[in-house]
């Protein structure tokens, strides 16, 4: 049996003293401890690890934060949509999430010979909404947004309070535009995010853009036809 041991090294006794003081202060401010004491959220073994339960105080906080974000997104031209909590396997095969993201998804449930997955993200369904009717380039950009409840199978050792969970409320935004104007639209697509973060006095954040590899881009051209 292996046992993991953590250790630190310091150049002076004062540095060690300062470090131990910081650890004690961090314990006082641990969001897991504060959240339970203020009756905001808690976890229950019978419900399952990584699946937070929010009490009335937590519900009020969620509603107020979502209200602020929704008002900001509305000003930026986003339209609210709502999608199901689960989908047929075909959707995630089409989007490319399967098999590449399978390890982070809950295993499928099979009903009447069809496999269904609880969704780990909202964007594939947003592409379906965009592609549900003919679009003209004159309609673009179309910005869709949703506060969807998503489910991701984080490993037990990765779970940490509300920082790493298996059930989360995620605001997915899908700005659908033409390929030609995408380079101009991507920065604007993220505009409500820094605005909301600044209003909450968050300063140390940055944007990151993830791009497909050439092979993945060829597989995911369906996104181009579905969104712009």
Residues 191-227: tens digit of each pLDDT = 687 788 888 888 777 777 666 665 555 555 444 444 4
C-alpha closest to that of 41 among 168, 158, 195: 168
Q: What is the mean pLDDT of the chain?
A: 86
Q: How many CB atoms lie within 10 A of CB 221?
A: 10
Report yes or no: 120 and 104 within 8 Å, Cβ to Cβ: yes
| pLDDT tens digits for range 122-168 | 999 999 999 999 999 888 889 999 999 999 999 998 999 999 999 99
CA distance 17 to 10: 10
pTM: 0.79
Contact 104, 59 (CB under 8 A): no
């Amino acid at each position: 049996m292996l046992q993991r041991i953590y250790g630190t090294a310091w150049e002076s006794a004062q540095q060690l003293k300062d470090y131990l003081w910081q650890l004690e202060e961090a314990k006082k401010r641990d969001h897991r401890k504060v959240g339970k004491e203020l009756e905001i959220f808690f976890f229950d073994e019978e419900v399952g690890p990584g699946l937070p339960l929010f009490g009335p105080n937590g519900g009020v906080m969620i509603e107020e934060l979502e209200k602020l974000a929704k008002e900001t997104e509305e000003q930026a031209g986003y339209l609210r949509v709502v999608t199901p909590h689960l989908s047929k396997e075909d959707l995630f095969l089409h989007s490319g999430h399967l098999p590449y993201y399978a390890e982070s998804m809950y295993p499928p449930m099979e009903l009447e010979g069809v496999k269904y997955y609880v969704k780990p993200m909202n964007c594939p369904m947003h592409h379906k909404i965009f592609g549900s009717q003919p679009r003209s380039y004159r309609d673009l950009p179309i910005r869709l947004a949703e506060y969807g409840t998503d489910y991701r199978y984080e490993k037990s050792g990765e779970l940490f309070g509300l920082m790493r969970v298996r059930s989360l409320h995620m605001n997915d935004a899908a700005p659908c535009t033409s390929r030609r104007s995408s380079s101009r639209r991507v920065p604007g697509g993220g505009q409500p995010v820094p605005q909301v973060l600044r209003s909450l006095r968050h300063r140390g954040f940055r944007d990151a853009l993830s791009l497909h590899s050439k092979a993945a881009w060829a597989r995911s051209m369906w996104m181009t036809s579905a969104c712009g």
